[in-house]
Amino acid sequence: MMRVFHRCRFRLLKQAGVSVSLLLAASFSAAVIPVEANFVLGMDVQGQRLNLYEDCEEGSVTCDNMLLVAPDLQRLWHIKPYDKSIDNKSPYSVKLYPAKTKHSLCNDGVTPCGFQGYQFEGNGIKGFINPIDKKIRAGNEWTLDGSSVTYKENSTYIPLVSQAALIDSKYTASDKALNKSYRITRNEVRRLYDEHMEADLKQEQIQWIKQRSKDCGANAQHQPRTQAEKVCFIRKNDSREKDYFLWID
């Protein structure tokens, strides 16, 4: 079950993260500091990572002090008015979307009852995270134009902001693992089948790399430039490694 409010086990983490929080506070206008102690939910969508944070009193029924940290959703899902001049040549920027819980109302029409999900808005976007059907609905806050996507819940904490050294380390390890798996698979395909099949694998790998750059954002050499792009590469690489088994199964 997803966590909506703080657990006692986070108290020590919050104390340990005070110094980090103070450093980040100057960079974020939202009241919630995006650190692991405030982490509620990780969502993987099309390789991209979205992180939800909260900072409310333990035992609160509702929480209005939440924050969604994500790649630019207007660009990611082409929600109008989408600036078409921004393409994959521009690095993906991380946006902050203030959020809060949403509940149905009790019979008195005032008291919050059943938890329904999370609302978020900001940067021209309004949206809703539905934890029941694992969907995110987002649209332009002035028009009806919008998008609905399915997300995969992920409890592993992968920050889009702060802890750059951690993400650099994870990306380097992911890149090495992917290249190693590709070389092993390519050798096995050549040994088990023939050079034509090996050439097919190579061509598919090239197309996959191009698509990864399109989905995540990358430079002309298909390398990530920002932390958000590196996180996306990590998720894409992990899925790609699993696909290699299909070539030798």
Condensed to tens digits (0 to 9), the pLDDT of residues 40-50 reads 999 999 889 99
Residue 110: the pLDDT is 83
What H or E segment, with its residue span, contains residue 44?
A: strand 39-45
Contact 137, 130 (CB under 8 A): yes
Residue 144: the pLDDT is 56
CA angle 207, 211, 216 (to 5 degrees): 150
Domain boundaries, the chain: 10-154, 164-248
pLDDT below 50 — which residues of the chain?
1-30
Rounded Cα gap, residues 125 and 195, in angstroms: 50
Residue 163: the pLDDT is 87
Cα torsion 176, 179, 182, 183: sign: negative
Rounded Cα gap, residues 30 and 152, in angstroms: 26
Percent of the chain scoring above 70 in pLDDT: 83
Q: Retrieve residue 178's tokens.
A: 């992917």
Residue 32: the pLDDT is 87
- Terminal-residue alpha carbon distance, the chain: 35
